Amino acid sequence: MTDATTPLKDRPLETGEDLRSLIELLLDRANRRQMWLMFIDDRGCLGDPLMPMDDYPDDPTVMTRTDDLGEVDHATLLMHRIGMLREMTGNAAVVLVWERLGSSVVGVEDREWSRAMLDAAAALDVPLRAQFVLHNRGVRALHLGDLT
């Protein structure tokens, strides 16, 4: 990542390690179960807003009904709303951070949510750049191999 004198909003996030370092700087360690929504702007830097979301469902595949989408699973609904927010804020991409207490080991819920969000992003054409787990000791990037 760029030197520490460059403001956070102006640091290019070119690699996964750049993103991981930024998340660790901003969020440090897990405090509770929640999902952080981050945006990457068209320069490849941190965009606005940075949003926490707690109280998301345990299971991303449970169906729910909405007026605008009809019956969809929770992952599709959440990714649809994230895509709308990305467009409204003029950002280029999305990064998801799954905060939860525990170790860096990728668990069942981590896999289920990250896989469901990856699938929903692809189906809805939402540019999902990366996903991470924020745990008790830091930040871990989620890779495709972690999701199987």
Dihedrals phi, psi of 22, to nearest 5 degrees? -65, -45
Residue 37 contacts residue 94 (beta carbons within 8 Å): yes
pLDDT band at 148 (very low <50, low <70, confident <90, very high): confident
Which letter does DSSP use for residue 69 in this model? Answer: T
Residue 1 pLDDT > 60, yes or no?
no
As a whole number, the mean pLDDT across the chain is 95
Query: What per-residue confidence (pLDDT) applies to 105?
Result: 95
Burial annotation 82-94 (CB, 10 A radius, 16+ → b, else e): bbebbeeeebebb
To which H or E segment does residue 17 belong?
helix 16-27
Residue 130 pLDDT > 80, yes or no?
yes
The model's pTM: 0.94
pLDDT band at 146 (very low <50, low <70, confident <90, very high): confident
